[in-house]
Amino acid sequence: MRASISRRWPTARRWDFPLVNVAAAIVGRERHHRRARLACGAVSAVPRRLVEAERVLLGKAPSEALGREAGAAATRRARPLTYNGYKIPLMANLVMRAVRDATGGAE
C-alpha cells in the first residue's frame, strides 16, 4: 500500500485560505505502516512536520483508533497564541481524517 492525501479546513473555494491543512504520505502493507510522513500548514509561520504523529503510526495496523491517537500526538505539544487556540482540535481532526483516508478508510 502506498498512499498520499491532503486535507484542509475549511474546504476550499478559490479565494479562500485554509485555517489548517494536513498532508499525509503512508507506505505499508495492510497489516502495518512501514513509513509515514505527516505535515501541517497554516498553524505556524512555516509548515510543520508532525514527527510525533508519524511515530505513532509506524508498525501498527490502520484503524480509526490509530488515527485518533495520531491526531492527539500531533497536537500534544502545541502551544496556541492568543487568538488561535481553536486550531488545535481542527488539526487533531484533520490528522485523524488524513490518516484514515490515506489508508483506505471510509469518508
pTM of structure: 0.86
CATH 3.30.390.50 fits 2-102, yes or no: yes
Residue 6: per-residue pLDDT: 82
- Written as one letter, the residue type at 88 is I
102 confidence band (pLDDT: 50, 70, 90): confident
Domains of the chain by residue range: 2-102
Res 13: pLDDT: 67
What is the per-residue pLDDT for 107? 44
What span, in angstroms and rounded, lies between the C-alpha atoms of 93 and 72?
9
